[in-house]
Amino acid sequence: MSKVVLAFSGGLDTTVCVPLLKEEYGYNEVVAVTVDVGQPKTGLKEAEKTAKKLGVEYHQVNAKKEFVEDYIKPLIKANGDYEGYLLGHAIARPLIAEKIYEVAKKEKADALAHGCTGKGNDQFRFEATFKHLTQEMDIIAPIRDMNLTREEEIDYARKNDIPITTEGKEEWSIDENLWSRSIEGGKLENPSFEPPEEVFEWTNSPKKTPDEPSKIKIRFEEGEPVCLNNKELDLIEIIKKLNQKAGKHGVGRVDMIEDRILGLKARENYEHPAATVLQEAHKDLENLTLTRNQLNFKSNIENEWSDLVYKGLVVDPLFEDLNSFINSSQKNVNGEVKLKLHKGSIKVISRKSENAIYNQNLVSFDEKKLDQKHAKGAIKFHGIQSRNLKNKKGD
């Protein structure tokens, strides 16, 4: 009796994995598990239905709370951004993998399986966490290890009467969670193909957005969003509301070229209205409350943090080190930021903070508190080494 637990989304890849795990890998029992990290309810139901049709044991694990607390909050504080990608899916993978492992442990399974292909990033992210958690269970990746194309999978599904929803029409490969929606594949693989409006679901086309702008106000405490328009809300609620509000104004689309872990460049499209708004607001508040030294150095921390998350390497002790820095840096990131959403654009229009490193008395051209003559001494030494190099006797 051998048992495997499969990370199951109900899409083509993971659906095909079920019979493959039995027939090609010889597992007696396949347990399909969907981890709920905020993807749409319809998708979750669809997954459950498909699992039932496939006749396997099926679980759904609600990880939304952990997702927001343990992953999205650090992401916001870190201004997580990899080449312009806000890490929406990357950030969910380690948690999904952990939840899959927990089921497997409870089920006393012999193996863990995922449906990732061998060209993408998720195989790295899943397996880094799987291998970190267990050295006893086998790790199986049928699509990759059998080198299957989408077409071959569809063929196989048809021949074996596997319930797949695509039926040829599903041109795009979609992934969703609370934070982000990604669209890739098909004609979009071509970097010069303009994405048609139909691929977007979370954001309105600028043409369909309201003619009047909306203003929103977000309050942060220690770098975490706590109020939306003066109303104290749970972060899950803030994100849901912002996805709706900002999506209505067409805010949060990204069309980009991305360097995958293996070194392949790929064209990617994302939608994430709340993520765009929160990052814009958080950065602006940091500009007001962090010292120049902090801002300048934190950008290195952010790059490294984002690189680790992109690679799924949150198990590296460096990840915890970086988070220690980030948490320390957020102590003064308290205050509120007002933004205007309009026709796909987002602008910060005002901000204030009880910890602002800002002193109107010092900076104003109308104030004399700071004697301007002091600057003369500072300038005396500005660029002095370059002058010294040129003029051996000068200063």
Query: Of residues 77-106, which lie at the interface with a second copy (CB under 8 A)?
Result: 83-84
Rounded to whole angstroms, the Cα distance separating 281 from 274 reads 11
Question: Does residue 169 bind a second copy (CB under 8 A)?
Answer: no
Pick 221 or 234: Cβ nearer a second copy? 221
Catalytic residue at 145?
no
Residues 6+ apart with CB under 8 A from 16: 115, 142, 143, 148, 153, 156, 157, 162, 164
Q: Please, which residue, 161 or 211, has the CB nearer to a second copy?
A: 211
Return the sign of the alpha-carbon dihedral for residues 151, 153, 158, 160: positive
Contact 253, 270 (CB under 8 A): yes
> Which residues in 331-360 contact a second copy (CB under 8 A)?
331-332, 338, 342-345, 347-352, 355-360
Residue 106 vs 387, nearer CB to a second copy: 387
- Smallest distance from a second copy to CB 76, Å: 17
Is 180 known to be catalytic? no
Considering the rule CB under 8 A, would residue 294 count as an interface residue with a second copy? Answer: yes
**CB contact at 8 A, 250 and 203:** yes
Least separation in angstroms between CB 291 and a second copy: 4
Among 151, 167, 168, 230, binds a second copy (CB under 8 A): 151
| Cβ 190 to a second copy shortest distance, Å | 7
CA dihedral 35, 37, 38, 40 (to 10 degrees): -40
Per CB under 8 A, 381 contacts a second copy = yes
By CB under 8 A, the residues from 313 to 332 that bind a second copy are 313, 315-318, 320-325, 327-329, 331-332
Active site (annotated) includes residue 122: yes
**Is 259 among the catalytic positions?**
no
Q: Which is nearer to a second copy, 42 or 147 (CB)?
A: 147
Closest CA to 220 of 68, 355, 377, 34: 355
Residue of the chain from 3, 144, 240, 241 that contacts a second copy (CB under 8 A): 144
Taking the CB of residue 291, how many other CB atoms lie within 10 A of it? 11
Compute, in degrees rounded to 10, the torsion defined by CA atoms 188, 189, 194, 198: 0
Identity of the residue, 177 or 306, whose beta carbon is nearer to a second copy in the bound complex: 306
Nearer to a second copy, 53 or 265 (CB): 265
Query: Among residues 13, 36, 110, 284, which one is catalytic?
Result: 13
Q: Restricting to residues 247-276, which ones interact with a second copy according to CB under 8 A? A: 250, 253, 255-260, 262-267
H-helix or E-strand spanning residue 211: none
Backbone angles phi and psi of 31, in degrees to 5: -105, 120
Residue in 127, 138, 170, 171 binding a second copy, rule: CB under 8 A = 127
Closer CB to a second copy, residue 2 or residue 379?
379
Strand order in the sheet with 29-36: 57-62, 29-36, 3-7, 111-113, 138-140
The CA distance from 167 to 289, in Å, is: 53
**213 lines the binding site for a second copy (CB under 8 A):** yes
Residue 59 beta carbon to a second copy: minimum distance, rounded to whole angstroms:
26
Q: Which residue in 2, 28, 165, 287 binds a second copy (CB under 8 A)?
A: 287
Q: Coil, helix or strand for 294?
A: helix
Closest distance to a second copy from the beta carbon of 391 (Å) = 6
Measure the CA–CA gap between 78 and 311, rounded to whole angstroms.
16
Q: How far apart are CA 186 and CA 191, in angstroms?
A: 11
* Catalytic-role residue among 122, 182, 253, 284: 122
Which residues have a catalytic role annotated? 13, 93, 122, 173
